[in-house]
């Protein structure tokens, strides 16, 4: 079962790599400014889109890492719950 899960994960990852598309993470104003600066000989606009994508991906990766660690920490097997058999007074 574990081998099936791992192979499915690898297959999904490879599918994402094969069918990936170019994305543009800029607003129209930033795109126009970057394109005009590159056409005028300025090389600073070349990495603008990559930088925006990098900044966009960082919070998602952080949340995914925290979620994975939380899942691994609180998913314990054979946990013994010590619950008293007497009634609990909530008043």
State pLDDT tens for residues 33-49: 777 777 777 777 667 76
Report residue 89 as tokens.
């007074």
48-80: per-residue pLDDT in tens? 767 777 888 899 999 999 999 988 887 766 667
**Nearest alpha carbon to residue 46 among 33, 62, 59:** 33
Tokens matching residue 38: 């590159």
Distance CA 47, CA 29 (A): 16
Which residue range is the domain that position 40 belongs to? 25-75
59 lies in a domain? Answer: yes
The predicted pLDDT at position 64 comes to: 94
Specify the pLDDT at position 65.
Answer: 95
With residue 78 as reference, give the H or E element that holds it: none
Within-domain flag for 42:
yes
pTM above 0.75, yes or no: no
pLDDT band for position 11 (cuts 50, 70, 90) = very high
Determine, yes or no, domain membership for 48.
Answer: yes
What Å distances lie between residue 48 and 25, 27, 28, 41, 85, CA to CA?
A: 9, 11, 13, 15, 64
Contact of 45 with 34, CB cutoff 8 Å: yes
Task: State the total domains in the chain.
Answer: 1
In a domain, 65, yes or no: yes
């Amino acid at each position: 079962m574990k081998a099936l899960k791992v192979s499915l994960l690898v297959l999904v990852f490879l599918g994402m790599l094969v069918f990936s598309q170019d994305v543009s993470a800029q607003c129209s104003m930033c795109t126009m400014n970057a394109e005009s600066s590159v056409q005028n000989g300025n090389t600073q606009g070349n990495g603008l889109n990559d930088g925006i994508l990098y900044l966009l991906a960082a919070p998602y990766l952080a949340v995914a890492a925290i979620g994975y660690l939380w899942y691994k920490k609180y998913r314990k097997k054979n946990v013994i719950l010590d619950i008293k058999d007497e009634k609990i007074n909530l008043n």
